Chains A and B, each alone.
Chain A
Amino acid sequence: MEIEIISFGQITEFINNQKIEVNGIADTNSFKQYLEDRFPALKGIKYKLALNKNIVQQNTEITNQATIAIMPPFSGG
Protein backbone atom coordinates (compact mmCIF):
# COMPACT_ATOMS: atom_id res chain seq x y z
CA MET A 1 0.00 0.00 0.00
CA GLU A 2 1.29 3.47 -0.88
CA ILE A 3 0.96 6.37 1.56
CA GLU A 4 2.01 9.96 0.93
CA ILE A 5 3.47 11.76 3.95
CA ILE A 6 3.37 15.55 4.27
CA SER A 7 5.12 17.12 7.25
CA PHE A 8 5.29 20.62 8.70
CA GLY A 9 7.48 22.80 10.92
CA GLN A 10 10.30 21.16 12.84
CA ILE A 11 9.00 17.69 11.84
CA THR A 12 10.34 18.33 8.30
CA GLU A 13 13.83 18.20 9.84
CA PHE A 14 13.53 14.44 10.26
CA ILE A 15 10.54 13.41 8.10
CA ASN A 16 10.61 14.66 4.51
CA ASN A 17 7.58 14.79 2.28
CA GLN A 18 7.66 11.36 0.67
CA LYS A 19 5.67 8.46 -0.67
CA ILE A 20 6.22 5.26 1.26
CA GLU A 21 5.32 1.66 0.58
CA VAL A 22 3.99 -0.04 3.73
CA ASN A 23 2.46 -3.39 4.49
CA GLY A 24 0.29 -4.42 7.40
CA ILE A 25 -0.75 -0.88 8.33
CA ALA A 26 -4.51 -0.76 8.28
CA ASP A 27 -5.37 2.29 10.37
CA THR A 28 -4.09 5.57 11.80
CA ASN A 29 -3.17 4.06 15.20
CA SER A 30 -0.81 1.54 13.64
CA PHE A 31 0.54 4.21 11.30
CA LYS A 32 1.33 6.41 14.30
CA GLN A 33 3.20 3.50 15.90
CA TYR A 34 5.08 2.92 12.63
CA LEU A 35 6.07 6.61 12.44
CA GLU A 36 7.33 6.75 16.03
CA ASP A 37 9.34 3.54 15.58
CA ARG A 38 10.92 4.75 12.36
CA PHE A 39 11.38 8.39 13.47
CA PRO A 40 12.01 8.30 17.26
CA ALA A 41 12.35 12.11 17.40
CA LEU A 42 8.59 12.29 16.85
CA LYS A 43 7.99 10.73 20.26
CA GLY A 44 9.36 13.83 22.01
CA ILE A 45 6.95 16.38 20.52
CA LYS A 46 3.23 17.07 20.23
CA TYR A 47 1.80 16.56 16.76
CA LYS A 48 -1.52 15.88 15.06
CA LEU A 49 -2.28 13.69 12.03
CA ALA A 50 -4.66 14.51 9.20
CA LEU A 51 -5.83 11.76 6.85
CA ASN A 52 -6.74 12.99 3.37
CA LYS A 53 -7.01 16.55 4.76
CA ASN A 54 -9.33 15.59 7.63
CA ILE A 55 -8.02 15.81 11.17
CA VAL A 56 -7.72 12.40 12.84
CA GLN A 57 -9.77 12.34 16.07
CA GLN A 58 -10.14 8.57 16.40
CA ASN A 59 -8.60 5.47 14.90
CA THR A 60 -9.45 5.59 11.21
CA GLU A 61 -8.94 3.07 8.40
CA ILE A 62 -6.20 3.94 5.90
CA THR A 63 -6.63 2.95 2.28
CA ASN A 64 -4.13 2.78 -0.59
CA GLN A 65 -2.92 6.17 -1.92
CA ALA A 66 -3.90 7.96 1.28
CA THR A 67 -2.23 11.25 2.17
CA ILE A 68 -1.26 11.73 5.81
CA ALA A 69 -0.15 15.12 7.12
CA ILE A 70 1.88 15.44 10.35
CA MET A 71 1.49 18.85 12.00
CA PRO A 72 3.19 20.26 15.13
CA PRO A 73 1.83 23.26 17.08
CA PHE A 74 3.33 26.71 16.38
CA SER A 75 3.37 29.52 18.94
CA GLY A 76 5.46 32.25 17.30
CA GLY A 77 4.17 35.70 16.58
Chain B
Amino acid sequence: MSAERYNRQIILKGFGEEAQQKLLRAKVLVIGVGGLGCPALQYLAAAGIGHIGIVDDDTISLSNLHRQILFTTADIGKLKVEVAAKRLQEMNTQIGIIRHPIRLQKNNILDILSRYDYILDGTDNFESRYLINDACALLNKPLIFAAVSGFEGQLAIFNTPDHLTPSTNYRDIFPIPPTKGEIPNCSENGIIGVLPGVLGTMAAAEIIKLIAEIGQPLTNKILSYNLLTQEQYTINLSQGHGYTLPKTVDEFLNMDYQNTSEGPQGYIEIDATELVKLQQLDSTILIDVRERHEVPVLDKQIFTQVPMSEFGAFMSKEFYQKHVVLICQHGIRSVAAAEAMQEKYGDAKKIYSLKGGIIKWRDHFLKS
Protein backbone atom coordinates (compact mmCIF):
# COMPACT_ATOMS: atom_id res chain seq x y z
CA MET B 1 0.00 0.00 0.00
CA SER B 2 1.27 3.45 -0.84
CA ALA B 3 0.88 5.49 2.32
CA GLU B 4 1.32 8.67 0.34
CA ARG B 5 -1.84 8.08 -1.72
CA TYR B 6 -3.94 7.95 1.45
CA ASN B 7 -1.79 10.37 3.48
CA ARG B 8 -4.49 13.01 3.98
CA GLN B 9 -6.92 10.58 5.58
CA ILE B 10 -4.26 8.59 7.45
CA ILE B 11 -3.07 11.76 9.24
CA LEU B 12 -6.69 12.54 10.17
CA LYS B 13 -7.21 12.32 13.92
CA GLY B 14 -9.53 9.41 14.64
CA PHE B 15 -8.75 7.62 11.36
CA GLY B 16 -5.07 6.70 10.97
CA GLU B 17 -3.10 3.78 9.57
CA GLU B 18 -5.27 1.15 11.26
CA ALA B 19 -8.48 2.40 9.64
CA GLN B 20 -6.75 2.56 6.27
CA GLN B 21 -5.71 -1.08 6.63
CA LYS B 22 -9.35 -2.03 7.37
CA LEU B 23 -10.46 -0.32 4.14
CA LEU B 24 -7.77 -2.17 2.21
CA ARG B 25 -8.94 -5.55 3.55
CA ALA B 26 -12.65 -4.84 2.91
CA LYS B 27 -14.75 -6.28 0.10
CA VAL B 28 -17.62 -4.07 -1.05
CA LEU B 29 -20.22 -4.88 -3.71
CA VAL B 30 -21.97 -1.99 -5.46
CA ILE B 31 -25.18 -3.06 -7.22
CA GLY B 32 -26.31 -0.68 -9.94
CA VAL B 33 -23.87 1.68 -11.67
CA GLY B 34 -26.39 4.50 -11.98
CA GLY B 35 -26.85 7.89 -10.37
CA LEU B 36 -26.15 6.45 -6.92
CA GLY B 37 -23.54 3.85 -7.87
CA CYS B 38 -21.24 6.17 -9.87
CA PRO B 39 -20.36 8.67 -7.12
CA ALA B 40 -20.28 5.93 -4.46
CA LEU B 41 -17.81 3.91 -6.54
CA GLN B 42 -15.57 6.91 -7.11
CA TYR B 43 -15.19 7.62 -3.41
CA LEU B 44 -14.89 3.97 -2.40
CA ALA B 45 -12.14 3.41 -4.98
CA ALA B 46 -10.33 6.64 -4.14
CA ALA B 47 -10.49 5.90 -0.39
CA GLY B 48 -8.70 2.58 -0.94
CA ILE B 49 -11.36 -0.11 -0.46
CA GLY B 50 -9.25 -3.16 -1.40
CA HIS B 51 -11.84 -5.16 -3.35
CA ILE B 52 -14.78 -3.53 -5.12
CA GLY B 53 -17.34 -5.58 -7.05
CA ILE B 54 -19.60 -3.87 -9.58
CA VAL B 55 -22.91 -5.32 -10.77
CA ASP B 56 -24.94 -3.98 -13.70
CA ASP B 57 -26.11 -5.52 -16.98
CA ASP B 58 -27.06 -2.23 -18.62
CA THR B 59 -25.36 -0.12 -21.29
CA ILE B 60 -24.81 3.64 -21.17
CA SER B 61 -27.38 5.90 -22.82
CA LEU B 62 -27.43 9.65 -23.42
CA SER B 63 -30.08 10.32 -20.77
CA ASN B 64 -27.83 8.68 -18.14
CA LEU B 65 -25.07 11.24 -18.45
CA HIS B 66 -26.58 14.07 -16.39
CA ARG B 67 -26.24 11.97 -13.24
CA GLN B 68 -24.00 8.98 -13.98
CA ILE B 69 -20.76 10.86 -13.73
CA LEU B 70 -18.31 8.02 -14.45
CA PHE B 71 -19.34 8.09 -18.11
CA THR B 72 -18.58 10.36 -21.07
CA THR B 73 -20.49 11.00 -24.29
CA ALA B 74 -18.07 8.68 -26.11
CA ASP B 75 -19.13 5.83 -23.79
CA ILE B 76 -22.75 5.70 -25.04
CA GLY B 77 -23.71 2.13 -25.95
CA LYS B 78 -20.89 0.55 -23.90
CA LEU B 79 -21.42 -1.74 -20.94
CA LYS B 80 -21.57 0.30 -17.71
CA VAL B 81 -19.56 -2.23 -15.72
CA GLU B 82 -16.69 -2.22 -18.23
CA VAL B 83 -16.42 1.55 -18.49
CA ALA B 84 -16.76 2.05 -14.71
CA ALA B 85 -14.15 -0.63 -13.92
CA LYS B 86 -11.65 0.90 -16.33
CA ARG B 87 -12.14 4.43 -14.94
CA LEU B 88 -11.88 3.28 -11.33
CA GLN B 89 -8.80 1.19 -11.99
CA GLU B 90 -7.12 4.19 -13.62
CA MET B 91 -8.07 6.27 -10.61
CA ASN B 92 -6.61 3.77 -8.14
CA THR B 93 -4.20 1.14 -9.46
CA GLN B 94 -3.67 -0.41 -6.02
CA ILE B 95 -7.14 -1.94 -5.57
CA GLY B 96 -8.98 -4.85 -7.13
CA ILE B 97 -12.08 -4.17 -9.25
CA ILE B 98 -14.29 -7.18 -10.00
CA ARG B 99 -16.74 -6.93 -12.90
CA HIS B 100 -20.18 -8.59 -12.74
CA PRO B 101 -21.90 -7.62 -16.02
CA ILE B 102 -25.08 -9.51 -15.12
CA ARG B 103 -28.57 -8.93 -13.76
CA LEU B 104 -28.93 -10.27 -10.23
CA GLN B 105 -31.59 -12.93 -9.92
CA LYS B 106 -32.65 -15.50 -7.35
CA ASN B 107 -30.35 -18.13 -8.85
CA ASN B 108 -27.12 -16.06 -8.87
CA ILE B 109 -27.44 -13.42 -6.15
CA LEU B 110 -26.55 -15.57 -3.12
CA ASP B 111 -23.33 -16.77 -4.72
CA ILE B 112 -22.18 -13.26 -5.64
CA LEU B 113 -23.21 -11.57 -2.37
CA SER B 114 -21.45 -14.22 -0.29
CA ARG B 115 -18.08 -13.09 -1.72
CA TYR B 116 -18.41 -9.60 -0.19
CA ASP B 117 -18.55 -8.02 3.29
CA TYR B 118 -20.75 -4.99 2.54
CA ILE B 119 -23.46 -4.53 -0.09
CA LEU B 120 -24.59 -1.16 -1.50
CA ASP B 121 -28.00 -1.20 -3.18
CA GLY B 122 -28.07 1.59 -5.77
CA THR B 123 -30.62 -0.04 -8.09
CA ASP B 124 -33.64 1.72 -9.56
CA ASN B 125 -36.61 -0.61 -9.09
CA PHE B 126 -38.53 -2.37 -6.33
CA GLU B 127 -38.07 -5.89 -7.76
CA SER B 128 -34.28 -5.60 -7.33
CA ARG B 129 -34.55 -3.86 -3.98
CA TYR B 130 -36.67 -6.60 -2.40
CA LEU B 131 -34.51 -9.31 -3.98
CA ILE B 132 -31.33 -7.71 -2.59
CA ASN B 133 -32.92 -7.04 0.82
CA ASP B 134 -34.06 -10.62 1.25
CA ALA B 135 -30.77 -12.08 0.03
CA CYS B 136 -28.78 -9.83 2.40
CA ALA B 137 -31.07 -10.72 5.30
CA LEU B 138 -30.68 -14.42 4.54
CA LEU B 139 -26.87 -14.15 4.34
CA ASN B 140 -26.74 -11.66 7.23
CA LYS B 141 -24.79 -9.17 5.09
CA PRO B 142 -24.71 -5.49 6.05
CA LEU B 143 -26.79 -3.68 3.41
CA ILE B 144 -26.43 0.02 2.70
CA PHE B 145 -29.67 1.17 1.10
CA ALA B 146 -29.89 4.41 -0.89
CA ALA B 147 -32.84 5.54 -3.02
CA VAL B 148 -34.09 8.75 -4.58
CA SER B 149 -37.38 10.22 -5.78
CA GLY B 150 -37.92 13.72 -7.17
CA PHE B 151 -35.86 16.03 -4.96
CA GLU B 152 -35.65 13.64 -1.99
CA GLY B 153 -33.60 10.64 -0.94
CA GLN B 154 -33.52 7.85 1.63
CA LEU B 155 -30.47 6.25 3.22
CA ALA B 156 -30.31 3.35 5.69
CA ILE B 157 -28.12 0.51 6.94
CA PHE B 158 -29.77 -2.87 7.34
CA ASN B 159 -28.77 -6.26 8.81
CA THR B 160 -26.38 -4.65 11.24
CA PRO B 161 -27.34 -4.93 14.92
CA ASP B 162 -26.25 -2.23 17.36
CA HIS B 163 -26.12 -2.20 21.16
CA LEU B 164 -29.76 -1.04 21.37
CA THR B 165 -31.62 -2.83 18.59
CA PRO B 166 -31.39 -6.21 16.84
CA SER B 167 -30.80 -5.86 13.11
CA THR B 168 -33.60 -4.54 10.89
CA ASN B 169 -34.24 -4.87 7.17
CA TYR B 170 -36.23 -3.04 4.49
CA ARG B 171 -39.33 -5.15 5.10
CA ASP B 172 -39.45 -3.79 8.65
CA ILE B 173 -40.40 -0.47 7.02
CA PHE B 174 -42.23 -1.61 3.89
CA PRO B 175 -43.26 -5.28 4.30
CA ILE B 176 -44.81 -5.64 0.83
CA PRO B 177 -43.51 -4.24 -2.47
CA PRO B 178 -45.65 -1.46 -3.96
CA THR B 179 -47.77 -2.39 -6.95
CA LYS B 180 -46.71 -1.26 -10.42
CA GLY B 181 -47.20 2.47 -10.85
CA GLU B 182 -48.00 3.08 -7.19
CA ILE B 183 -44.71 4.92 -6.65
CA PRO B 184 -43.25 7.00 -9.50
CA ASN B 185 -39.78 6.00 -10.80
CA CYS B 186 -37.02 8.22 -12.21
CA SER B 187 -37.81 7.73 -15.90
CA GLU B 188 -41.44 8.53 -15.19
CA ASN B 189 -41.05 11.26 -12.60
CA GLY B 190 -37.67 12.80 -13.46
CA ILE B 191 -34.59 13.22 -11.31
CA ILE B 192 -32.16 16.09 -10.80
CA GLY B 193 -28.63 14.76 -11.40
CA VAL B 194 -26.98 16.09 -8.26
CA LEU B 195 -29.48 14.36 -5.92
CA PRO B 196 -28.25 10.76 -6.40
CA GLY B 197 -24.77 12.34 -6.33
CA VAL B 198 -25.41 13.51 -2.77
CA LEU B 199 -27.08 10.23 -1.68
CA GLY B 200 -24.47 8.02 -3.37
CA THR B 201 -21.69 9.98 -1.68
CA MET B 202 -23.47 9.70 1.68
CA ALA B 203 -23.79 5.94 1.12
CA ALA B 204 -20.03 5.69 0.45
CA ALA B 205 -19.41 7.65 3.67
CA GLU B 206 -21.58 5.19 5.64
CA ILE B 207 -19.65 2.22 4.22
CA ILE B 208 -16.31 3.82 5.10
CA LYS B 209 -17.59 4.56 8.65
CA LEU B 210 -18.79 0.97 9.09
CA ILE B 211 -15.50 -0.52 7.89
CA ALA B 212 -13.23 1.90 9.75
CA GLU B 213 -15.49 1.71 12.82
CA ILE B 214 -15.70 5.46 13.23
CA GLY B 215 -18.58 7.81 14.07
CA GLN B 216 -22.22 6.76 14.27
CA PRO B 217 -23.32 5.02 11.07
CA LEU B 218 -27.04 4.99 10.26
CA THR B 219 -27.46 1.54 11.76
CA ASN B 220 -31.15 0.79 12.40
CA LYS B 221 -32.07 4.26 11.17
CA ILE B 222 -33.48 5.65 7.95
CA LEU B 223 -32.51 9.15 6.93
CA SER B 224 -34.70 11.23 4.64
CA TYR B 225 -32.89 13.98 2.74
CA ASN B 226 -34.51 16.92 0.97
CA LEU B 227 -32.35 18.66 -1.63
CA LEU B 228 -34.61 21.71 -1.90
CA THR B 229 -34.44 22.57 1.80
CA GLN B 230 -31.22 20.74 2.75
CA GLU B 231 -33.21 19.23 5.61
CA GLN B 232 -32.62 15.76 6.98
CA TYR B 233 -35.02 13.72 9.10
CA THR B 234 -33.87 10.53 10.79
CA ILE B 235 -36.27 7.82 11.96
CA ASN B 236 -35.26 5.07 14.38
CA LEU B 237 -36.12 1.59 13.11
CA SER B 238 -37.26 -1.46 15.04
CA GLN B 239 -38.30 -4.92 13.97
CA GLY B 240 -41.75 -5.27 12.46
CA HIS B 241 -43.85 -8.42 12.39
CA GLY B 242 -46.25 -10.34 10.21
CA TYR B 243 -44.26 -10.14 6.97
CA THR B 244 -42.66 -12.81 4.82
CA LEU B 245 -38.88 -12.95 4.86
CA PRO B 246 -37.32 -16.14 3.48
CA LYS B 247 -35.45 -17.92 6.25
CA THR B 248 -33.80 -20.63 4.13
CA VAL B 249 -32.30 -20.83 0.65
CA ASP B 250 -35.27 -22.96 -0.45
CA GLU B 251 -37.76 -20.39 0.80
CA PHE B 252 -35.74 -17.68 -0.94
CA LEU B 253 -35.77 -19.54 -4.25
CA ASN B 254 -39.54 -19.90 -3.98
CA MET B 255 -40.17 -16.18 -3.57
CA ASP B 256 -41.69 -14.20 -6.46
CA TYR B 257 -39.66 -11.05 -7.16
CA GLN B 258 -40.66 -10.59 -10.79
CA ASN B 259 -44.22 -9.52 -10.37
CA THR B 260 -44.91 -6.94 -7.72
CA SER B 261 -48.46 -6.25 -8.86
CA GLU B 262 -51.19 -7.99 -6.92
CA GLY B 263 -54.62 -9.33 -7.74
CA PRO B 264 -56.27 -10.34 -10.99
CA GLN B 265 -56.12 -7.85 -13.82
CA GLY B 266 -59.59 -6.79 -14.86
CA TYR B 267 -58.73 -3.71 -16.90
CA ILE B 268 -57.55 -3.77 -20.53
CA GLU B 269 -54.36 -2.27 -21.94
CA ILE B 270 -55.03 -0.68 -25.34
CA ASP B 271 -53.09 0.93 -28.20
CA ALA B 272 -53.83 4.19 -30.05
CA THR B 273 -56.11 2.54 -32.65
CA GLU B 274 -58.38 1.19 -29.94
CA LEU B 275 -58.21 4.57 -28.23
CA VAL B 276 -59.60 6.24 -31.38
CA LYS B 277 -62.51 3.75 -31.48
CA LEU B 278 -63.36 4.32 -27.83
CA GLN B 279 -63.04 8.07 -28.27
CA GLN B 280 -65.99 8.02 -30.70
CA LEU B 281 -68.40 6.57 -28.11
CA ASP B 282 -70.51 8.98 -26.05
CA SER B 283 -70.16 6.70 -23.08
CA THR B 284 -66.36 7.12 -22.94
CA ILE B 285 -64.41 9.38 -20.61
CA LEU B 286 -60.72 9.97 -21.38
CA ILE B 287 -58.73 10.75 -18.25
CA ASP B 288 -55.21 12.19 -18.20
CA VAL B 289 -53.75 11.16 -14.81
CA ARG B 290 -50.52 13.15 -15.13
CA GLU B 291 -49.84 16.03 -12.75
CA ARG B 292 -50.88 19.50 -13.96
CA HIS B 293 -47.35 20.71 -14.76
CA GLU B 294 -46.54 17.84 -17.14
CA VAL B 295 -46.06 18.27 -20.88
CA PRO B 296 -47.21 17.88 -23.61
CA VAL B 297 -50.45 19.53 -22.55
CA LEU B 298 -53.48 17.74 -24.00
CA ASP B 299 -56.74 19.31 -25.16
CA LYS B 300 -58.75 19.69 -21.94
CA GLN B 301 -62.03 19.55 -23.93
CA ILE B 302 -61.23 15.96 -24.86
CA PHE B 303 -59.07 14.75 -21.99
CA THR B 304 -60.36 15.22 -18.45
CA GLN B 305 -57.48 16.08 -16.17
CA VAL B 306 -57.38 14.02 -12.95
CA PRO B 307 -53.82 13.95 -11.58
CA MET B 308 -52.91 10.84 -9.53
CA SER B 309 -52.62 13.08 -6.46
CA GLU B 310 -56.35 13.92 -6.85
CA PHE B 311 -57.48 10.52 -8.04
CA GLY B 312 -58.90 9.32 -4.74
CA ALA B 313 -61.13 12.39 -4.50
CA PHE B 314 -62.27 11.94 -8.11
CA MET B 315 -63.26 8.32 -7.50
CA SER B 316 -65.44 9.31 -4.57
CA LYS B 317 -67.71 11.20 -7.03
CA GLU B 318 -70.17 9.57 -9.43
CA PHE B 319 -69.85 9.87 -13.21
CA TYR B 320 -72.07 8.40 -15.90
CA GLN B 321 -69.59 7.21 -18.57
CA LYS B 322 -69.29 3.44 -18.85
CA HIS B 323 -65.92 3.31 -20.63
CA VAL B 324 -62.98 4.83 -18.77
CA VAL B 325 -59.67 5.29 -20.62
CA LEU B 326 -56.70 6.23 -18.44
CA ILE B 327 -53.67 7.93 -19.94
CA CYS B 328 -50.30 9.04 -18.59
CA GLN B 329 -46.79 9.73 -19.86
CA HIS B 330 -45.48 6.14 -20.14
CA GLY B 331 -48.49 3.96 -19.32
CA ILE B 332 -47.29 3.10 -15.80
CA ARG B 333 -49.33 5.41 -13.58
CA SER B 334 -52.38 4.79 -15.77
CA VAL B 335 -52.10 1.09 -14.86
CA ALA B 336 -52.16 2.03 -11.18
CA ALA B 337 -55.22 4.20 -11.82
CA ALA B 338 -56.85 1.36 -13.78
CA GLU B 339 -56.23 -1.07 -10.92
CA ALA B 340 -57.82 1.34 -8.43
CA MET B 341 -60.85 1.87 -10.69
CA GLN B 342 -61.21 -1.82 -11.39
CA GLU B 343 -61.23 -2.48 -7.67
CA LYS B 344 -63.95 0.11 -7.09
CA TYR B 345 -66.23 -0.45 -10.10
CA GLY B 346 -65.61 -4.11 -10.96
CA ASP B 347 -67.87 -5.00 -13.90
CA ALA B 348 -69.97 -1.83 -13.62
CA LYS B 349 -67.56 0.05 -15.87
CA LYS B 350 -65.01 -0.98 -18.53
CA ILE B 351 -61.55 0.27 -17.60
CA TYR B 352 -58.72 0.81 -20.11
CA SER B 353 -55.10 1.94 -19.80
CA LEU B 354 -53.15 3.28 -22.79
CA LYS B 355 -50.10 1.02 -23.07
CA GLY B 356 -46.84 2.96 -23.55
CA GLY B 357 -48.58 6.23 -22.73
CA ILE B 358 -48.44 9.59 -24.48
CA ILE B 359 -44.71 9.22 -25.28
CA LYS B 360 -45.29 6.04 -27.29
CA TRP B 361 -48.25 7.48 -29.22
CA ARG B 362 -46.88 11.02 -29.41
CA ASP B 363 -47.91 11.53 -33.06
CA HIS B 364 -51.48 10.58 -32.25
CA PHE B 365 -51.71 13.15 -29.46
CA LEU B 366 -49.96 15.93 -31.35
CA LYS B 367 -52.35 15.70 -34.28
CA SER B 368 -55.51 15.39 -32.19
Residues of A within 8 A of B (CB): 6, 8-10, 13-14, 39-46, 48, 50, 53-55, 57, 69, 71-77
19 A-B residue contacts at CB 8 Å? A10-B183, A10-B184, A14-B309, A39-B312, A40-B313, A41-B310, A45-B183, A46-B178, A46-B183, A48-B173, A69-B224, A71-B222, A72-B183, A73-B126, A73-B147, A73-B183, A74-B148, A75-B129, A76-B189
Q: Do A40 and B312 touch across chains, with their CB atoms under 8 A apart?
A: yes
Contacts of A14 in B (CB 8 A): 309-310
Q: From the candidates A46, A53, A55, A77, name the one contacting B148 in the complex (CB within 8 A).
A: A77
Contacts of A13 in B (CB 8 A): 291, 309
- Which B residue's beta carbon lies closest to that of A45? B182
Contacts of A73 in B (CB 8 A): 126, 147, 173-174, 178, 183
> Given that A44-B336, A54-B236 are known contacts, is A74 also in contact with B182, CB under 8 Å in the complex?
no
**B122: interface (CB < 8 Å):** yes
Residues of B within 8 A of A (CB): 32, 34-37, 122-126, 129, 146-150, 152-154, 172-174, 176, 178, 182-186, 189, 191, 196, 222, 224, 226, 233-241, 291, 308-313, 315-316, 336, 340
Q: Do A57 and B309 touch across chains, with their CB atoms under 8 A apart?
A: no
Contacts of A75 in B (CB 8 A): 123-126, 129, 147, 149, 183, 185
Q: Do B241 and A76 touch across chains, with their CB atoms under 8 A apart?
A: no
Q: Do B32 and A53 touch across chains, with their CB atoms under 8 A apart?
A: no
Q: Is the interface of A mostly helix, strand, loop or mixed?
A: mixed
Q: Do A57 and B123 touch across chains, with their CB atoms under 8 A apart?
A: no
| The 9 nearest A-B residue pairs measured at CB | A40-B312, A74-B147, A77-B124, A74-B149, A41-B312, A13-B309, A76-B186, A50-B235, A76-B148
Q: From the candidates A9, A42, A55, name the one contacting B235 in the complex (CB within 8 A).
A: A55
Q: Do A76 and B185 touch across chains, with their CB atoms under 8 A apart?
A: yes
Q: Do A46 and B174 touch across chains, with their CB atoms under 8 A apart?
A: yes
Q: Do A8 and B125 touch across chains, with their CB atoms under 8 A apart?
A: no
A-B contact sample (20 more), CB < 8 A, given A6-B233, A54-B238, A74-B183:
A10-B150, A13-B309, A14-B309, A40-B316, A41-B312, A44-B340, A45-B182, A46-B183, A50-B235, A53-B233, A53-B234, A54-B236, A55-B236, A55-B240, A69-B235, A73-B174, A74-B148, A76-B148, A77-B32, A77-B36
Q: Do B176 and A9 touch across chains, with their CB atoms under 8 A apart?
A: no
Contacts of A69 in B (CB 8 A): 224, 233, 235
Most chain B CB within a 10 A radius of its CB, from A13, A39, A46, A53: A46
Q: From the candidates A48, A50, A77, name the one contacting B123 in the complex (CB within 8 A).
A: A77
**Distance between B200 CB and nearest chain A CB, rounded to angstroms:** 9
- Which B residue's beta carbon lies closest to that of A75? B126
Contacts of B34 in A (CB 8 A): 77
Q: From the candidates A9, A43, A71, A72, name the one contacting B312 in the complex (CB within 8 A).
A: A43
